[in-house]
Amino acid sequence: MNPVPKSHPTAAIARRVSSGRYSGWRLFLEGLTGQRGWSRAWAKAAPRSRYRVVIVGGGGHGLATAFYLATEYGITDVAVLEKGPIGLGNVGRNTTTIRSNYFHPDNIRFYEYSLKLWEGLERKLNFNAMVSQRGVLNVFHTDAQRDLFTRRANTMRLLGVDAEPLSREAVKQRVPLVDLDNGRYPVLGGFLQPRGGTVRHDAVAWGYARAASEAGADIVEHCEVTGIRRDGARVTGVETTRGPIAADTVCLAVAGHSSRLAAMAGLALPIESHVLQAFVSEGIKPVLDVVLTYGAGHFYVSQSDKGGLVFGGAIDGYNTYGQRGTLPMAEEVAAAAMTLLPGLARLKVLRQWGGVMDMSMDGSPIISRTPLEGLIVNGGWCYGGFKAIPAGGLTTAHLIARQAPHPLAAHLDLERFAAGRTIDERGAGPFPYAH
Amino acid sequence: MLRIPCPWCGERDETEFRYRGDASQSRPAAEAGLAAFNAYVYERQNPCGWHLEWWLHVGGCRKLLKVVRHTLSHEIHSVGGPEDPLSLPQGLTR
């Protein structure tokens, strides 16, 4: 490839276009000028000794909180501290599904708000996150399950959210791979949320990081928080591997490790850490244009743009901080896949990985103040962290800036447990391993 | 795959067992008040390290076991019955 000389007339245009914004024009012009006009997407900040807000955790929720603090609430004196590079935690380990087909009205409203933010996210961030609203289809296998899904669909529709019941035949038409009359759990029908879908998860971390950095927040990588400073019942900052940092507000956005960080401040949370596995198969031609969820076990699958089938199951089921899954659950997921989609039997699994998650006591997230003044917790995301990133970030930013909960996240407070207002989506009781 | 040495049946695969959560919680006195009961029902230490926990040997002797297991390495340190006073090893927790 011949580098284009600096005096090339398009170079001047390219420099004008490259004000930092990404666009088709810029891509075209950079193509003509040797791709030399691109700069780093976000600044690698060194930590200062004090900030108004310190967010611990450079995952989806931490970065989104910093972005909304700057753009919606005008607070730019913010640092996001991440112990490694950003995007390597749960934001890059999930199965990329977005949806709002919940059971409890409060949860539907919250996740629907998130889905609406996903719909406008790429324009807002000026970053291609490959938001693909291909639909989320849950299939059911018993009459009772049909009744439950019908109730869920009705609740959603009453709240203005899209939900469609599908007949057996419609399920087959939509996903020809499904074995309707499989020997174990014949499929009786389905429940579709057409606006659900997938998003490229790495792009979410990078897009929020770039936009937050541009808006003025410091994104500090390789800065592990080792302690939380307290003055009585008030949190005054954090100790880190890069020195102490003072802050008016410290926000924990470290789902998976919330308990460990809270313990540094002397708090015990209603959370256990569990590992959730995900898998991806070798790439094949397009066979699945919807996110498909099995009703007789925990199994969900979608096809990535590279052609690999991305799928996951339930948590392994006992407390762990190990970012790796074990074989019994891998076997269970494979068995569910074979029951629902036997045509995939000869497909090879290319990769398998695990992410450590906050499993809360009622299966719902926590966006809350704590008994310590100046300490905010965003955690307890269970299976729902990725899809909640935009709404989680925005409502956490609201809580930090206004010092009062956002109306859509007010039910996610920590006091709900003692007050008997738990939001138990599955009715499983205070047993995190059962959610 | 965990291999849990059941004191009654010997070492078995984890698939024979059901996890039943943190075994370090003990029920407060009836008059202990809301905060104590809230802590008992909901709050957990959730350590990254040694953890005292319940496992039910549902596919074997059906007895409830108390197990000391490491939540990062998954190493099992000791197993006993519900009455056994198992203690957590020192020095290896993070």
ipTM: 0.94
Find the residue in B nearest to A266 (Cα).
Answer: B45
> Which residues have a Cβ under 8 Å from the Cβ of A141 and sit 6 or more positions away?
A185, A186, A187, A188, A295, A296
| pLDDT for residue A435 | 86
- Is residue B75 included in any domain, yes or no? yes
Comma-separated ranges of CATH 3.30.9.10 domains in chain A = 97-102+115-199+272-360
| pLDDT for residue B75 | 95
Q: Does B14 touch chain A (CB under 8 A)?
A: yes
| pLDDT for residue A6 | 52
What is the pLDDT averaged over residues A11-34?
77
As a CATH number, domain A50-92+202-270+362-434 is 3.50.50.60
- Is residue B8 included in any domain, yes or no? yes
Residue B34 has its nearest CB partner, among A273, A418, A433, at A418
Using alpha carbons, select from A402, A411, A403 the residue that is nearest to residue A367. Answer: A411
- Is residue B30 included in any domain, yes or no? no
Using alpha carbons, select from A365, A395, A409, A408 the residue that is nearest to residue A383. Answer: A365
Residue B42 has its nearest CB partner, among A319, A326, A361, at A361
| pLDDT for residue A11 | 58
- Is residue B32 included in any domain, yes or no? no
| pLDDT for residue A9 | 56
| pLDDT for residue B91 | 57
Look at A15-29, A157-171, A285-299, B10-24 and tell me which has the smallest mean pLDDT.
A15-29
What is the pLDDT averaged over residues A52-81?
98
Q: Are A435 and A100 in contact (CB under 8 A)?
A: no
- What CATH code is carried by the domain that includes residue B10? 3.30.2270.10
- Is residue B87 included in any domain, yes or no? no
- Is residue B63 included in any domain, yes or no? yes
- Half-sphere exposure for A111 (CA within 13 Å, toward CB): 26
As a CATH number, domain A97-102+115-199+272-360 is 3.30.9.10
Backbone torsions φ then ψ of A312, nearest 5 degrees: -150, 175
Question: What is the percent of chain A with per-residue pLDDT over 90, rounded to a whole number?
Answer: 91
Domain ranges, residue B66? 3-25+44-80
pTM (2 decimals)? 0.93
Residue A412 has pLDDT above 90, yes or no: yes
Question: What is the percent of chain A with per-residue pLDDT over 70, rounded to a whole number?
Answer: 96
| pLDDT for residue A4 | 47
Backbone torsions φ then ψ of A357, nearest 5 degrees: -120, 150
Q: Please give the mean pLDDT across all residues of chain A.
A: 94
Q: Are A199 and A130 in contact (CB under 8 A)?
A: yes
Residue A15 has pLDDT above 80, yes or no: no
Report the gap between the CA of A328 and the closest CA in chain B (Å). 7
Residue A193 has pLDDT above 60, yes or no: yes
The domain total for chain B is 1
